[in-house]
Amino acid sequence: MCGRTACTLAPDEVSRASSYRNRGGRRRQPRWKDGDADKYRPSYNKSPQSTSPVLLSRRHFDKEAPEDECVLAAMRWGLVPSWFREKDPSKMQYSTNNCRSENILQKKTYKDPMNKGQRCVILADGFYEWKKQEKAKQPFFIYFPQTEEKTKQDDKSQASCSPEEASPELTEKEDASGEWTGWKLLTMAGVFDCWTPPGGVEPLYTYSVITVNASPNLQSIHHRMPAILNGDEEVRRWLDFGEVKAVDALKLLESKNNLTFHPVSSLVNNSRNNSPECLQPVDLNSKKEPKPTASSKMMASWLKSSAPTKRKEADTSESKEEKKSKSEGGLQRASKKSRTT
């Protein structure tokens, strides 16, 4: 299951951090769909119905675009099917935040967009998950190990480096060649759809995060996890709907034991809390600060070095539409019956 994420990069940083390889193996930096960079807002605590950066084939917007060219778009979390007839998407009677990979081709809500090739990659610093305990649930932040970042100057994995050795290099956003070396974004497989409200108003693009059984190292936290696309080739094949059909693309969605995690404060439990403290590691056995790991030191350095003034403004500002959506979602949540996890 995936019910909360974080994506703290500014729009231009998301573009640099989400470079991809085309069919010929050439690395490309995606551009934002017209106007969408302004719709996306960085956040330490993203909940369903908020807007996230999504990578997808440009052919979904421009039929004349090269088959392997990608574009960034800002989409709302919680898929609204194109055939939905109500005027207000918050009136949907079931949750579409997540969809199971096992039955995605059996449910009309997801089957139709999958057969149309409407596959996407949801980008995030990581996602939150809550572990059930006797008294209260403990939140964890889950993400790609940052010590595995590679640069063209040093192609060796930094997984074996100590935190003191790894952190100086990891504070840089780009290497000498211009390749991104900042925070490695999590790439989650998703399916999207385009819904046009009655009356011909601007179409709304929305997505669902596809889930699979949890990997062995995450099973103690939760039995489900987002389907992770690991590496350029998996991302390329998932997005290349012209070359890779739905049934073959679904074979990419397996439980992968390639994520790391750390416990975080219960501050994240309230989606209105939106600050760096949501991501900070906590020690469950002590009131003292936990001993830093290479990944947690990377996170601390990254948060300090990434335009705090600009980010603060972006994090604390919500559009009227987002505030209304969250409010309506809260009222509807009690009456909705979830059909997916």
Catalytic residue list: 2, 129
**CA nearest neighbour of 145 among 42, 37, 262:** 262
In the structure encoding, which two tokens stand for residue 60, read together?
Answer: 């979904």
From residue 83, alpha-carbon distances to 80, 103, 192 in Å are: 8, 20, 13
Q: DSSP string of 5-60?
A: EEE---HHHHHHHT-EE-TTS-EE-PEEPTTHHHH---EEEE-TTSEEEEEEEGGG
The helix/strand/coil state of 221 is coil
Largest CA distance in the chain: 59
- Helix (H) or strand (E) segment spanning residue 210: strand 204-213
In the structure encoding, which two tokens stand for residue 255, read together?
Answer: 């439980």
Say how far apart CA 123 and CA 254 lie, in whole Å: 18
